[in-house]
């Protein structure tokens, strides 16, 4: 797979399909749910949008990373949620409605927060004189196009043809995972000469990111005395990042076009599946023990 095809054609297409799949399962009521159950939703949003970047910054500063990889970790921590978190919540028997609500609302807000966090990260790790900068308004517009437009199309299909949307959603969710896998393979093949070194450099920091953020979500939801299924949903939503969006921002030509920054997201995605799979298994066992 040629690098140019991966970043210029396949990556935007894959992200479009992934976000379309998320939209197929959304309704307007998912956005209204914050008014019905504000405590749980606000708790999740604060953890996703405020505490996650702080954790990402701390880990990127503590671990001995190159400036580009450190920025890649920060970009990853600025991209919460995604269709994968909804799927893992379902597999873990968590509150899927709450998971979808958090994903939907955070996707709207991160259109504005991602460019700010990324530019702060580049100034911190690459230096004030770095030639890499994300223009705020155009970046917001581009992120909106590759995320909100397909989500809106999915929601429209859900509203107009609910039966078709329901059938498509099942296939698109698994197709999304397939696309994510191909993107990761493509990036690893492109950087195959350095991938072992990259894995040694960012493997531990990305593993720490998923473990620490899942522990944060679980701890906050437990302290708030939410029900078990909501605890599971918030744990997954806070702990799983939108790796595909992070890869698109770091490696796609219209944005940063720096594939090295995408390595943390690619390696994170591999480790995330292992950790979240273990959590889903444990969560299922906990719920079965209560029956």
Give the residue-averaged pLDDT of 259-284: 85
Let me know the angle formed at the C-alpha of 89 by 87 and 95, rounded to the nearest 5 degrees: 125
1 has pLDDT over 50: no
- Distance between CA atoms of residues 64 and 59, nearest Å: 9
Percent of the chain with pLDDT over 90: 16
Which domains does the chain carry? 3-282 (1.20.1530.20)
Instruction: Dig out the tokens for 187 from the structure.
Output: 């990036």
Q: Regarding predicted confidence, which is higher, 123 or 175?
A: 123
For the ranges 4-8, 190-194, 261-265, the maximum mean pLDDT occurs at: 261-265
Residue 135's pLDDT is 63
Residue 29's pLDDT is 73
Give the residue among 58, 74, 114, 108 at the shortest CA–CA distance from 265. Answer: 74
Residue 202 near residue 109 (C-beta atoms within 8 A):
no
3-class SS letters over 238-285? HHCECHHHHHHHHHCCCCCCCHHHHHHHHHHHHHHHHHHHHHHHHHHH
Q: Given pLDDT bands bounded at 50, 70 and 90, which one contains residue 136? A: low
With the C-alpha atoms ordered 74, 125, 181, 272, is the resulting torsion angle positive or negative? negative
Residue 2's pLDDT is 42
Place of tokens 């979808």: 100
Task: Write out pLDDT tens, residues 36-63.
Answer: 767 888 888 899 889 999 999 999 999 9
Q: Regarding predicted confidence, which is higher, 107 or 217?
A: 217
Three-state DSSP state, 224: coil
Residue 189's pLDDT is 72
Q: Regarding predicted confidence, which is higher, 238 or 291?
A: 238
Task: Write out pLDDT tens, residues 65-107.
Answer: 888 899 999 999 998 877 778 778 877 888 877 887 888 888 8
Task: Write out pLDDT tens, residues 12-33.
Answer: 777 777 778 777 877 777 777 6
Give the residue-averaged pLDDT of 157-179: 78
With the C-alpha atoms ordered 89, 43, 105, 8, is the resulting torsion angle positive or negative? negative
Residue 205's pLDDT is 93
Instruction: Dig out the tokens for 199 from the structure.
Output: 């894995």
Burial class of residue 174, CB neighbours in 10 A (0-12, 13-18, 19+): exposed
- Distance between CA atoms of residues 100 and 248, nearest Å: 22
Residue 21 near residue 172 (C-beta atoms within 8 A):
yes
Residue 280's pLDDT is 85
pTM as predicted: 0.80
For the ranges 36-45, 207-216, 226-235, 262-271, the maximum mean pLDDT occurs at: 207-216
């Amino acid at each position: 797979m040629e690098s140019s095809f991966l970043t210029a054609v396949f990556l935007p297409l894959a992200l479009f399909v992934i976000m379309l799949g998320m939209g197929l399962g959304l309704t307007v009521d998912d956005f209204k749910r914050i008014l019905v159950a504000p405590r749980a939703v606000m708790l999740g949003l604060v953890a996703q949008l405020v505490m996650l970047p702080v954790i990402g910054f701390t880990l990127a500063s503590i671990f001995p990373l190159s400036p580009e990889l450190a920025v890649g970790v920060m970009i990853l921590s600025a991209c919460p949620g995604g269709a994968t978190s909804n799927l893992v919540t379902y597999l873990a028997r968590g509150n899927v409605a709450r998971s979808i609500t958090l994903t939907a609302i955070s996707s709207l807000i991160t259109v504005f927060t991602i460019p700010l966090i990324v530019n702060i990260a580049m100034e911190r790790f690459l230096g004030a004189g770095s030639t890499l900068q994300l223009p705020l308004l155009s970046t917001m517009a581009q992120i909106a196009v590759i995320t909100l437009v397909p989500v809106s199309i999915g929601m429209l299909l859900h509203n107009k043809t609910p039966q078709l949307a329901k059938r498509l959603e099942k296939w698109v969710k698994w197709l999304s995972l397939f696309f994510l896998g191909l993107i990761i393979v493509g990036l690893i093949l492109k950087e195959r000469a350095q991938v072992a070194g990259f894995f040694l450099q960012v493997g531990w920091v990305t593993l720490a990111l998923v473990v620490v953020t899942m522990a944060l979500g679980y701890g906050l939801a437990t302290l708030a005395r939410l029900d078990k299924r909501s605890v599971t949903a918030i744990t997954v939503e806070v702990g799983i990042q939108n790796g595909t969006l992070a890869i698109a921002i770091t490696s796609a030509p219209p944005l940063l076009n720096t594939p090295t920054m995408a390595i943390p997201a690619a390696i994170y995605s591999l480790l995330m599946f292992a950790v979240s799979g273990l959590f889903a298994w444990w969560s299922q066992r906990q719920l079965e023990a209560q029956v």
